[in-house]
Amino acid sequence: MTCRIGIMGFGRIGRNIFRILHQDRDLQVAAIVDTAAPEALEYLLRFDTVHGRFSNVALEDGVFYSDGRSIPLLSHARPEDVDWKALDVDYVVEATGRYRTRAQLEGHLAGGVARVILASPPESLEDVDRLLIAGVNDAELTADDRIISLGSCTLGAVGPVLKLLHENFGVGQAYMNSIHAYTNRMRLADVPSEDFRASRAAAENIIPSTTYTPNVIGRVIPELEGRLQGLALNVPVPDGSCVDLTVFLEKPTSAPAINAVMRSAAAGSWSRVLEYSEDPIVSSDVVGNPHSAIYDGLATIVLGDTMAKLLIWYDNGWGYAERIVDTISHVHAVDEGRS
């Protein structure tokens, strides 16, 4: 049975989801909600600085036409303003980045949808029914989980690697540095902000910031509660990020052994989430990569036999959008009794 999806917020993630789904017959975008002008939304979908042109769309009288389907564009400011039931929408992807509390997200449920997929970290863990990392805790999803978040793209990248390390060698403590492409929340020029570092020009500086992942890793991998710390550095690239991960392991190992774990996982049941690479890749080489994590086998270092330093690449926009689509497929299967 076809699943009809509503997207609220047609920014980078919303447009990536649209591109991924535009020819899918089982998962169909049924409506888009955004306060921007329809002409501006069509333009940014057709011409993308990072991912290139997308020609399979036309706009007429506030309606997108793509692959023979009509998709209405609606202008509403708040979740509770949208009548999703009238639009025959099953699930909503909340991609504005503004509505991250339970009270706000329940506005979508009141509009008639079965589930809300939050395409950003929630305000707090209590604001969602389930925090998912693809490949790590998907099996925990239940029919009662109506508000779901995938956390951040960085959580999705580092989570699978930490889980594999802990299962094979035991993770005592770990430190991560997320080297992250700048985002549209940052400044193009030096402009005042409450966060002084965030007020600096993102395309001209390396800007230290906090990272969401250490605070929530224990929610999805309980054994790692309190064992991960880290920070983020926003750097002057438009896309393509990586995690520089240092891990103190409980069992002696070697770089070839760690690589063998990651390579075999990527070739097996983790193949949709994890890619293993021994090519000399750089950040632009992972743009458009559909995996949550691209493990860099050339970068693995083991000092002594229990301290490991690893490099994990990811497209911070596209890979995250792919996991949202996977999550929609998964919850649809659960709701139809197929999983």
Sketch the domain layout of the chain as residue ranges: 3-120, 153-316
Long-range contacts, stretch 197-201, CB < 8 angstroms, 24+ apart: none
Strand 207-209 versus strand 228-235 pairing type: antiparallel
Would residue 153 show up in a list of annotated catalytic residues for this protein?
yes
Question: How far is residue 72's CA from residue 86's CA, in Å, rounded to a whole number?
Answer: 12
Q: What is the pTM of this model?
A: 0.95
CA dist., res. 139 & res. 127, Å (int): 20
Q: What does DSSP say about strands 207-209 and 241-249: parallel, antiparallel, or unpaired?
A: unpaired
Q: What is the pLDDT of residue 338?
A: 63
Give residue 4's identity as a one-letter amino acid code: R
Query: In 3-state terms, what secondary structure has residue 185?
Result: coil
pLDDT digit string (tens) for the chain, length 339 residues: 899 999 999 999 999 999 999 988 899 999 999 999 999 999 999 999 999 999 999 999 999 999 889 999 999 999 999 999 999 999 999 999 999 999 999 999 999 999 999 999 999 999 999 999 998 998 899 989 999 999 999 999 999 999 999 999 999 999 999 999 998 888 889 999 889 999 999 999 999 999 999 999 999 999 999 999 999 999 999 999 999 999 999 999 999 999 999 999 999 999 999 999 999 999 999 999 999 999 999 999 999 999 999 999 999 999 999 999 999 999 999 888 865
Asked whether the beta carbons of 169 and 253 are under 8 A apart, the reply is yes
* C-alpha distances out from residue 35 to 17, 155, 227, Å: 18, 29, 42
Helix axes 12-21, 318-335, angle to 10 degrees: 60
Distance CA 296, CA 329 (A): 29
Instruction: Give the strands of the sheet with 91-94, arranged side by side.
Output: 58-60, 63-66, 69-74, 27-33, 3-8, 91-94, 115-118, 147-149, 130-131
The pLDDT value given to residue 23 = 86
How many other C-beta atoms are found inside a 10 Å radius of the C-beta of residue 201?
15
Residue for token digits 């449920």? Answer: 109
Neighbours of 162 (CB within 10 A): 28
Give the pLDDT of residue 185: 81
Beta carbons of 111 and 82 less than 8 angstroms apart: yes
Beta bridge partner(s), residue 108: none
Pairing of strands 27-33, 3-8: parallel
Of 299, 150, 179, 161, which is closest to residue 239 (Cα–Cα)?
A: 179
Contact 269, 164 (CB under 8 A): no
Superfamily of domain 153-316: Dihydrodipicolinate Reductase; domain 2 (3.30.360.10)
pLDDT the model gives residue 339: 57
Q: What 3-state class would DSSP assign to 149?
A: strand
Specify whether domain 3-120 bears CATH 3.30.420.280: no
DSSP annotation of 217 reads H
Backbone angles phi, psi at 133, to 5 degrees: -115, 120
Type of residue at 17: I
Alpha-carbon radius of gyration of the chain: 20
- Crossing angle of helices 153-169/213-220, nearest 10°? 50
80 closest CA partner among 106, 60, 54: 106
Contact present, 71 and 6 (Cβ < 8 Å): no
**Count of CB atoms situated within 10 Å of the CB of 97:** 17
- C-alpha neighbours within 13 Å on the C-beta side of residue 281: 25
Rounded to whole angstroms, the Cα distance separating 108 from 5 reads 12
Residue 44 has what pLDDT? 96
Of the candidates 147, 150, 153, 158, the residue annotated as catalytic is 153
